[in-house]
Amino acid sequence: MDVILNMEKLYKPLLIIMLFGVSGCSTTVPVQKPPEPIKNQFQAVWNEITRDALNQLPQDTISFNKLVQGGKNIILGSSRRTLNERANVLKSFDKLAHPNGICFKGTWNIHADTKYGGYFKKDSKALILVRASTAMSNTKQGEIRSFGFAGKIFPTMNPNQILQENTVNFFLIDDLGGTRARHYTDVALTNEPTVSINSEVLKSFLYVLKVARTFSQVDKNPGIRQVYEISELGETNKSDVITPQWMKVEAKKGQTVEAKDFRNELKITKNEKLFFSISVASEKINNKKAWKNIGEIALDTSVVSSSCDHRLHFHHPKWRSNLKHGNPHT
């Protein structure tokens, strides 16, 4: 029993770094000719994501061989790029932790009064691209799956507007170790997820260890992915901005679809939409986060494509210790 407890103490922080800290990290796959830079425009990015739509669901797998080639730690450069590169679309790469996903376009809508800044303010509306994914390699019901939800907010409602400012990105996960949840729409995804230890992740120990050691060199506090980019978007005086400490999205009730693979479960058919509620919190009451529902994400189109899995890039915000959360402890 002591051995198991000691393994969990070692494994949990590594799992946090590997599956949450590097959910956008990649190893580059060589291509014959680098693509032309994509305009910072919603429609241009969506066109790239849908240009190579797939009729069959790919089943990509994680691999230690993608991290080390010829004795070189190629993941280190990729980790740094994830934190520093702001481009929305890159040349083809392999996602290290969340290789299989489905992409969506839709809108970000805040309907409630909040104390937070930027696009957490009431009546904020924006276009959004979302990639829903699973960690590791499992995608089907009955398997242990860790669900991810990565969002890219474009601060406009005009899909053809070329933006001068960068898009902002956020990362949410339900459980870093994964669960046997039957549906993606059954879980809540947050920026500080639960960490479960199970057989599915224990068998990938060397993979996790390598990625964790690398990412710990370039960022810190991987257990929570801060959302200050959203609260500072469009703000002139960012020093006074209040940022939620926690963010959560969960599918609205009544949208469950029975499908073996989560990508078929989430597939949007014509004239339908998929809705996720947005909640935020900055304090705990009786040791539970005091969530407040403030808006929704409405997704109207989905696609499974090679570019969704291999070219869409989500920039990771670097850790900051100077954020104001608007609670008595900040």
C-alpha span between 25 and 215 (Å, rounded): 9
This prediction has a pTM of: 0.86
Place of tokens 């580059």: 28
At residue 54, the pLDDT reads 97
User: Which segment of 62-76, 131-145, 216-230 scores lowest on mean pLDDT?
Assistant: 62-76
Q: Does residue 181 have a pLDDT over 80?
A: yes
List residues bridging with 293 in a β-sheet.
Answer: 279
Higher pLDDT residue, 149 or 270?
149
**Angle 74-84/205-215 helices, nearest 10 degrees?**
50
Tell me phi and psi for residue 3, to 5 degrees.
-65, -45
Q: Does residue 3 have a pLDDT over 50?
A: no
Residues of the chain above pLDDT 70, percent = 73
Domains of the chain: 2-310 (2.40.180)
Q: Does residue 216 have a pLDDT over 60?
A: no
Token digits for 140? Answer: 């089907």
Pick the most confident of 112-116, 236-240, 317-321. Answer: 112-116
Confidence of residue 135 (pLDDT cuts 50, 70, 90): confident
Confidence of residue 140 (pLDDT cuts 50, 70, 90): very high
Confidence of residue 31 (pLDDT cuts 50, 70, 90): very low
**Residue of 215, 178, 189 whose CA lies nearest to 18:** 215
Contact 316, 225 (CB under 8 A): yes
Model pLDDT for residues 313-327, shown as the tens digit of each residue:
999 888 899 999 987
Please state, rounded to an integer, the average pLDDT across all residues of the chain: 84
DSSP 136: T
Pick the most confident of 70-74, 95-99, 225-229. Answer: 225-229
Other CB atoms closer than 10 Å to residue 270's CB: what's the count? 6
Contacts of 289 by beta carbon, 8 Å cutoff, 6+ apart: 246, 281, 283
Q: Does residue 116 have a pLDDT over 60?
A: yes
Q: Does residue 218 have a pLDDT over 90?
A: no
Model pLDDT for residues 260-317, shown as the tens digit of each residue:
999 999 999 988 999 999 999 999 999 999 999 999 999 999 999 999 999 999 998 8
**Residue of 248, 137, 132, 111 whose CA lies nearest to 191:** 248
C-alpha triplet 52, 54, 60: angle, nearest 5°: 105
Contact 230, 155 (CB under 8 A): no
Confidence of residue 34 (pLDDT cuts 50, 70, 90): very low
For the chain, the distance separating the N- and C-terminal CA atoms, rounded to the nearest angstrom, is 39
C-alpha span between 215 and 254 (Å, rounded): 39
User: Which segment of 1-5, 65-69, 228-232, 249-253 scores lowest on mean pLDDT?
Assistant: 1-5
C-alpha span between 96 and 316 (Å, rounded): 14
Q: Does residue 110 have a pLDDT over 80?
A: yes
Average pLDDT (242-262) is 97
DSSP per position, 18-71:
IIIITTT-EEEPP-SSPPPPPPSBHHHHHHHHHTTB-SS-------GGGTEETT
At residue 183, the pLDDT reads 98
Answer positive or negative: Cα dihedral of 30, 31, 34, 36: negative
Q: Does residue 134 have a pLDDT over 50?
A: yes
Instruction: State the pairing for strand pair 274-281/246-251.
Output: antiparallel
Q: Does residue 201 have a pLDDT over 60?
A: no
At residue 329, the pLDDT reads 54
User: Which segment of 71-75, 113-117, 169-173, 238-242 scores lowest on mean pLDDT?
Assistant: 71-75
At residue 274, the pLDDT reads 98
Confidence of residue 133 (pLDDT cuts 50, 70, 90): very high
At residue 19, the pLDDT reads 55
User: Which segment of 56-65, 103-112, 119-128 scores lowest on mean pLDDT?
Assistant: 56-65
User: What does each C-alpha distance from 213 to 10, 73, 283, 324 come to in angstroms?
Assistant: 12, 11, 31, 30
Average pLDDT (183-188) is 98
